[in-house]
Chain A
Amino acid sequence: MVAAEKSGIPVINAGDGGHQHPTQTLTDLLTIRSMKNTLSNFTIGLCGDLKFGRTVHSLINALVRYEGIRFIFISPQELRVPDYITDMLKEKNIPYEEVIRLENVMPQLDFLYMTRVQKERFFNEEDYIRLKDFYILDKDKLALAKEDMLVLHPLPRVNEISVEVDDDPRAAYFKQAQYGVYVRMALILTLLEITV
């Protein structure tokens, strides 16, 4: 925002600290719509670092525009979604719940959005080490999910999704990364007013 205020040319927000990440959200929306043909009426679980996870904040902001969205926030107490997000959800009467254990809510989810617990988001190493392995998606946890649930992740991952999950048909994160290329191409072309 500061750059945009000072600049005479458009500035694309490619992620601002622990706040927002709008281009990733465009990618996420394209992925969801392409793979499910809709952006309405589903339950999405957002898991991991929801406090500083900027992709999560932007995605929630975008999804509240669509009908029938229910959010389940899965995180340790220390990394809960910020209050400006929950205040907004309450104001708009959008259903959400906050839980600590991923396994308990897995069967309800149509989408599971995983995020990494980033070292640089912590004030001290001790907290990071204590929390980084708290939410790891592996085959056992995925076995509790619906057959057609999709796993999303903004990537890169650290270890929050076991590599054994990569071959599961529900793992959509590599496809999502591919869509990310198209979205950013489209965005740059739009800003440059280039028609292809």
Chain B
Amino acid sequence: MLNVGKIEEGFVLDHIKAGKSLSLYEHLQLDKQDCTVAIIKNARSNKMGKKDILKVECDIDTMDLDVLAFLDHNITVNVIKNGEIVAKKELVLPKQIKNVIKCHNPRCITSIEQGLPHIFVLADEKKEVYRCKYCEEKYSEAAKN
């Protein structure tokens, strides 16, 4: 069993679906953060069998974690101070998501102008429906990166 030590200050993303931690690392743009990150893949879990965990040693207030609510509801965000869990952060669906999913409408401007960001806007919070900002195409699970 591989052991990864505690972090002093930062946050831990727990209960990530096994194998998805690297994709979250990219979506959260952790490569651009000058901080220590531990990516734990296929850790044992009583609840899930296998899970991934991300440990990030940086100020949580500098990060926009709301995209996690869109990517995976089941992720737990533990806020760590002085090596202990002090809070669990509530995730809310972001009003807008940028370059996380792609619009697959071949007539959308984002399919023609290759440099444009793919922006989706939360159209229905209850049903968790996102639509392309430009052509209003509904996001479907198949379009998820």
Contact = CB atoms under 8 A, between A and B. Distances in A.
Partners in one complex: yes
Interface of A: 1-2, 16-19, 52, 82-84, 87
24 contacts: A1-B109, A1-B133, A1-B134, A2-B109, A2-B113, A2-B116, A2-B134, A16-B109, A17-B107, A17-B108, A17-B109, A17-B135, A18-B107, A19-B134, A19-B135, A19-B136, A52-B107, A82-B136, A83-B138, A84-B123, A84-B131, A84-B136, A84-B138, A87-B124
Name the 9 nearest CB pairs between A and B, nearest first: A84-B136, A17-B107, A19-B135, A18-B107, A2-B109, A1-B134, A84-B131, A2-B116, A83-B138
Nearest to A83: B138
Residue with the greatest number of chain A CB neighbours at <10 A, chosen from B109, B116, B123, B129:
B109
| Chain B, interface SS category | loop
A20 B53 CA distance: 45
Interface residues of B, number: 14
Nearest to A3: B109
A80 to B, nearest CB: 14
A194 B34 CA distance: 54
Given A2-B134, A52-B107, 20 more contacts: A1-B109, A1-B133, A1-B134, A2-B109, A2-B113, A17-B107, A17-B108, A17-B109, A17-B135, A19-B134, A19-B135, A19-B136, A82-B136, A83-B138, A84-B123, A84-B131, A84-B136, A84-B138, A87-B124, A87-B129
Interface in B83-125: 107-109, 113, 116, 123-124
Contacts of A83: 138
Contacts of A84: 123, 131, 136, 138
B114 to A, nearest CB: 12
Residue with the greatest number of chain B CB neighbours at <10 A, chosen from A1, A18, A19, A82:
A19
